[in-house]
A and B are shown apart, each in its own frame.
Chain A
Amino acid sequence: MLTKRIIACLDVHDGRVVKGVQFVDLIDAGDPATQAARHAREGADEIVLLDITATHEGRQTLLDTVRRTARELFVPFCVGGGIRTADDAAQVFEAGADKVSVNSAALADPTLIAAIGRSFGAQAVVVAIDARRDPEAADPVRDAQVFVQGGRKPAGRRVVEWAREAEDRGAGEILLTSMNSDGMRTGFDCELTAAVSEAVGIPVIASGGAGTVDHFTDVFGRGKADAALAASIFHFGVSSARSLKEELAKAGVSVRLPC
């Protein structure tokens, strides 16, 4: 049986894992290669590394980080942040990533999705969508808006429509982050996740809002998510991806165990 994936996410700045709220008050949380290896060892089904360094010099540091992190990692490894062109993506793949995630660059030029897929396959292109419900709209879920620049600026696109277009243009997966829920620990936005998951035929990774094990059960159930991102899994009262998955298995969710 195909299992629900628990994906460990590392936010990386200048070659170090960082933790913070909305990317401010960053706390150093260790070496990316060490952290990724630990998550894989402790049962994570996949690793996502999101680079939040915005500088040009940071690109080289990122490639070094990807190279070091990939070296001893034998689970799928996705890298996102600052990938603007197919050449940027190629460098990240050559450094050892299996997938790249693209966000604002794909909105600015949706042909980027197919351009990366042509050389590396559709399965290697994850389109990340930062979503915010529109409280003014008649249907806040169907009319949820895409945001860019860390959630500060509306992109002028509806989330469900953009997800569908991304699929048509050759995306392999959608990484959906709810800006409303992000950092709140009140649960994933299950309605929005389900709306996107039902609109597309490719896997949807839910992100933003997890605070308890029940939130994961919920997003795999009524949220219809195929995978969920655990940004800082140790904040959820569990010590590892493995213990999270053991709790999920008890709740009837199909997960990769033993792992």
Chain B
Amino acid sequence: MRVTVIDYKAGNLASVLKALRHLGAEPVVTDGDLSLVDSAERIVLPGVGHFAATERLDSTGLTTAIRAAIARRVPFLGICVGMQWLYAGSSEAPDQPGLAHFSEGCTHFAESKEKVPHVGWNSLEVRKDSRLLAGVEPGEFVYFTHSYKAPVTVYTAAVTHYIESFASAVERANVMGVQFHPEKSGAAGLKILSNFLFWEGK
């Protein structure tokens, strides 16, 4: 199955592509060819690094194309900064708007004695009825690396605790996001990617 992977020059795509191929998908990468978004069967927006990098999505026209694809109910998965982009924005780059599919904003972890970034394996508290996280055991560990996070809301599919509770996964109809890196989270991560790939859009 074909998956359009968005390249906005924020970090390394190799791991995501490798995991998708491992699961039998055929990823095609676009950094500005909008026809690959217009014809997309599924879209993955990876991304590590700074929220400001998402400006490239606006300047290349990808934001508009992705918004239209989401409206056509194309399954969409945002990973890490790709999930944060689904929100109104992030205090990491206050002048750069997100897609605002979710109306809240992302914020930096509160000051505490704990280290920031949050790096390593932490557990998921999975909400009932999540399609993305179907079959994932309660308390399953996945790999995180981030300093900003999304708030827990009605669309939160999994909650993780570090300094405070934050949304480690979000899900609303065909739009899904994960703060952690499923491509780096062993068998649990592959299970989650596979749920996305084989979700039939019902």
Contact = CB atoms under 8 A, between A and B. Distances in A.
A123 interface: yes
Interface of B: 9-12, 14-15, 18-19, 22, 48-50, 115-123, 141, 143-145, 161-162, 183-187, 189-190
A58 to B, nearest CB: 22
Contacts of B15: 70, 96, 98
A201 B116 contact: yes
Complex A-B, nearest 6 residue pairs according to Cβ-Cβ distance, in ascending order:
A121-B49, A121-B48, A123-B145, A256-B121, A256-B141, A121-B11
Prevailing SS type, chain A contact patch: loop
A71 interface: yes
B12 A3 contact: no
Contacts of A203: 115, 117, 119-120
Given A93-B12, A256-B141, A74 B184 contact: yes
Contacts of A64: none
Contact of A226 (B49, B115, B123, B184): B115
A76 B123 CA distance: 16
A141 to B, nearest CB: 20
Interface string A88-129: 000001111010000000000000000000011111100000
Nearest to B143: A76
A259 interface: yes
A45 B121 contact: yes
Given A123-B145, A201-B116, A256-B141, A1 B123 contact: yes
**B interface majority secondary structure:** mixed
A173 B115 CA distance: 11
B137 to A, nearest CB: 9
9 contacts: A5-B120, A40-B186, A93-B12, A96-B14, A98-B184, A120-B11, A203-B117, A203-B119, A226-B120
A199 to B, nearest CB: 12
Nearest to B81: A121
A173 B121 CA distance: 15
Contacts of B145: 123, 172
Nearest to B190: A74
Nearest to A200: B115
Interface size class of A (residues with CB under 8 A): 20 to 34
Given A74-B19, A96-B18, A226-B115, A3 B122 contact: yes
Contacts of B123: 1
Contact of B11 (A71, A95, A124): A124
A71 B12 contact: no
A96 B121 CA distance: 20
Contacts of A195: none
Contact of A93 (B14, B144, B187): B14
Interface in A3-40: 3-5, 40
Given A202-B117, A203-B120, A259 B14 contact: no
Nearest to B19: A74
Nearest to B161: A1
Given A120-B12, A172-B119, A76 B48 contact: no
Which among A40, A95, A120 has the greatest number of chain B C-beta atoms within 10 A?
A: A120
B121 A70 contact: no
B171 to A, nearest CB: 22
Given A3-B121, A203-B120, A75 B11 contact: no
A249 B158 CA distance: 25
Contacts of B120: 2-5, 45, 203, 226-227
Contacts of B141: 3, 256, 259
A72 interface: yes
Contacts of B190: 74
Interface string A126-153: 0000000000000000000000000000
